[in-house]
Structure 1
Amino acid sequence: MRNKENQARMEQWSVQSPEIPGFHPVITPEKCECYDTQIFRLNLVAGDTYTLDSEGLELNAALIAGAAQLSNHPVLTQTMKQYDSFYIPGKNTVTITAVEDCIFYIGGAVCEGIGEPFFRSFDLSLPLGDIHQIHGSGSGSREVMFTLNPQDKASRLIAGLTWGNDGGWTSWPPHQHEKDLEEVYCYFNIPAPRFGLHLSYLKSGEYDDVVAHVVTSGTMVQAPMGYHPTVGTPGGRNWYFWVLGAHSHASRRYDLAVLDPLQENF
């Protein structure tokens, strides 16, 4: 039997992020169910400058589109190309100048005083290891590039870029990690009329309550709890920046996912 209350709750987990220029809080505790994982979007027109101030948060920013120059920071002085990223702990500022029109997706979490700023260049030639990985198999195979991996010094965040195969699944078998972490998927490179599907459900076996979120570029879907597999439509693939926010520094781990026991062998 369908649980309409649960379905209505999960339907609120999908948010379309703003495309207009400026800095936009998208997923924050004041207006969303995720409490430990925050997401911001920064849109800059070529030539514009923005000073990013982490204040009490740690931030991991990925350049989704365009090119930018970093400055006014002792470590971050690089020119950024598409999919490059950087991390700053709390009480850091960095100036971002758009060399081309830019879109940044930025993950945030409370900084516990642990973290060191760094820049990471996106490099598909990296051998498989801590940063570049292949997850899953068959129709569930996907490529992962960590922007902030568990070995990096940080307080609560882990983050990365994932892209699946054409028409393929990602995050399959379905998993949840609600005891230890929250997650948000921030989709890109899925321009309309193309779309993908992001599924949300709370408990193994309760598939009548599955909510299917239609995702395109700019869609951001929360997973404060429950399972959250995704699938691309034929001829397309799902691309997303995913951000995990741990409930505490002790649970800032990537090995805490619990697979849906009814789906893990498929």
Structure 2
Amino acid sequence: MIKQVSLQYGYNSLVEPGEMQYIEFGVFKGKKGDTYTCNTGDREAVLVFLTGRCHLWVNGEDYSVVGGRRSVFDGNAWSLYAPNETQVKIEVLDEAEVAISKTHVAADALPKLIKPEEVNVRDVGVWNWRRDVKDIVDKRIPASRLVVGETINPPGNWSSWPPHKHDVHNPPYESKQEEVYFFKVQPANSFGVARLYTAEGDVDEVLPIRENSVLLIRRGYHPIAAAPGTRVYYLWTLAGESRDLIPNDAPDYRWMKDTEAVMREWQRNL
């Protein structure tokens, strides 16, 4: 399922409570001087400062100024992991967007500010399925269920490739997590494409990706493609009973991952 969204000033609830089993998601959009307060209650949350600068307070403690990206395509994000029973206050210093992912918690933890230099950046894939993957909240952060990061597709490239799924609890071969993608495209009037499908064939959808699209992934394979001349960004949020990520690649395309080391060496020697 994909939603095409036009963000308004204030908090935009894009995945409502109960719409998915675990994940709730929204984006706060603010102009200079706007404030927003988030009380996590019985949820944990990850706030990713997509663009703009904000003054941040956590449980009354001054966390100073965070953010600063002009675009999601510019560098790494500032982010905050906020456990249950945490109050977060934001004051916008210039036009800003903040993505907020939430889920039910199973254990207590402490707030953690994640600086841009603490983001784990990976160069994943090769050739026309190469992309930049940025792990923001992973096993380094003792969250209860959330795993959050960003991916950027170069023009014309694919990601979530080879196609993979994570909808069956079958360790060590596959983990079960649902997922939400929130997209930006550059230029903003261009597009990408998502395919959501299952091996059984009961789900097979090709969906347009536009600026601020939201893709809800409950099951199935979910590769993403950027149009030529277009970069595609997406913030990804996973949640389930386990934070162990074990994607199960589609059998028809597993061979492509096996070729990556050879192709990297070939490209290096061109």
Query: 1:161 is matched with which residue?
Result: 150
Specify which of 244, 254, 257 is matched with residue 247 of structure 2.
257
Change (3 A) 1:104 1:113: same
Shift of 1:59: 0.6
Residue 264 of structure 1: SS of its match in structure 2?
helix
Residue 159 of structure 1: SS of its match in structure 2?
strand
In structure 1, distance between residues paired with 2:120 and 2:188: 30
Q: Does 1:111 align with 2:105?
A: yes
Query: 1:196 is matched with which residue?
Result: 192
Amino acid at match of 1:68: C
Change (3 A) 1:225 1:104: same
Query: 1:15 is matched with which residue?
Result: 3
- Structure with bigger strand share is 2
Query: 1:91 is matched with which residue?
Result: 85
Shift of 1:77: 0.6
In structure 2, distance between residues paired with 1:16 and 1:116: 35
- Aligned-CA RMSD value: 1.9
More divergent stretch after superposition (13-22 vs 69-78): 69-78
Instruction: Give the conservation status (yes or no) of the 8 Å contact 2:44–2:104.
Output: yes
Shift of 1:29: 4.1
Shift of 1:143: 0.9
Per-residue CA deviation, residues 243-264 of structure 1 (Å, 9 max, x unaligned), is 0011x1xx2112x111110122
In structure 1, distance between residues paired with 2:208 and 2:223: 13
Amino acid at match of 1:184: V
Structure 1: stretches of 5+ with no match in the other structure: 1-12
Query: 2:15 is matched with which residue?
Result: 27
Matched ranges for 1:203-242 at <5 A:
203=199, 206=201, 210-242=204-236
Residue 153 of structure 1: SS of its match in structure 2?
coil
Shift of 1:185: 0.7
Shift of 1:76: 6.0
Structure 2: stretches of 5+ with no match in the other structure: 70-76, 169-175, 257-270
Q: Would you identify which runs of 4 or more consecutive aligned residues in structure 1 move more than 6 Å?
A: none
Shift of 1:197: 0.7
In structure 2, distance between residues paired with 1:201 and 1:160: 23
Shift of 1:28: 2.6
Query: 2:263 is matched with which residue?
Result: none
Query: 1:139 is matched with which residue?
Result: 128
Amino acid at match of 2:190: R
In structure 2, distance between residues paired with 1:231 and 1:216: 12
Per-residue CA deviation, residues 215-266 of structure 1 (Å, 9 max, x unaligned), is 12211101111010000000112101000011x1xx2112x11111012223
Change (3 A) 1:73 1:232: same
In structure 2, distance between residues paired with 1:63 and 1:27: 18
Shift of 1:163: 0.4
In structure 1, distance between residues paired with 2:217 and 2:62: 31
In structure 1, distance between residues paired with 2:100 and 2:194: 20
Change (3 A) 1:139 1:112: same
In structure 2, distance between residues paired with 1:142 and 1:74: 39
Change (3 A) 1:17 1:147: farther
Shift of 1:113: 2.1
Specify which of 183, 188, 197 is matched with residue 187 of structure 1.
183
More divergent stretch after superposition (34-43 vs 112-121): 112-121
TM-score calculated relative to the size of structure 1: 0.84
Residue 238 of structure 1: SS of its match in structure 2?
strand
Shift of 1:116: 2.2
Per-residue CA deviation, residues 178-234 of structure 1 (Å, 9 max, x unaligned), is 121001111024444211111100226x4x953111112211101111010000000
